[in-house]
Amino acid sequence: EPEVTQTPSHQVTQMGQEVILRCVPISNHLYFYWYRQILGQKVEFLVSFYNNEISEKSEIFDDQFSVERPDGSNFTLKIRSTKLEDSAMYFCASSEVGRTQYFGPGTRLTVL
C-alpha cells in the first residue's frame, strides 16, 4: 500500500540554523500539506501546495518558512532561521483532489 514518507525522522539543530524537512508524497496525489504538532498540543495546519504553488497558508507560516517541490517526487519544508519555539513534530500529508489526507510518520525537530 502506498504511503507518505518523511526524512529525517529526527532532526536536532542549533537556534538560528536552517533546516530542510523532506517528504515523498503518495505518487498520484496532487495536494501536499505540512502540519506541525508542538508536544502535548493539537495538530496545526501550516501550508498546502497544489500545482507548484501555495494554495493556503496559516498565520504560523511566516517568512521564515518556505516550501518547494524540487522534483517530481519530493516536497520540502525549509525553516530559514530556527527558533526554540519551532521545536515540534512536523507532518507531511498528501491527497488526491477532494479526498482524504494521508499523513507521513513525521519528523521530530529539536531546536537547541
**Which residues sit at the interface with another protein, rule CB under 8 A?**
31, 33, 35, 37, 41-45, 48, 55-56, 58, 89, 91, 93, 95, 98, 100-106, 108
Task: Round to whole Å and give the CA distance between 91 and 81.
Answer: 19
- Estimate to the nearest angstrom the gap between the alpha carbon of 41 and the chain centroid: 17
Q: Cell 507532518 identifies what position?
A: 91
Q: How far is the CB of 8 from another protein (least distance, A)?
A: 14
Q: Which is nearer to another protein, 106 or 111 (CB)?
A: 106
Q: Which is nearer to another protein, 55 or 73 (CB)?
A: 55
- Estimate to the nearest angstrom the gap between the alpha carbon of 107 and the chain centroid: 8
Task: Round to whole Å and give the CA distance between 87 and 39.
Answer: 8
Q: How far is the CB of 58 from another protein (least distance, A)?
A: 7
Q: How far is the CB of 104 from another protein (least distance, A)?
A: 8
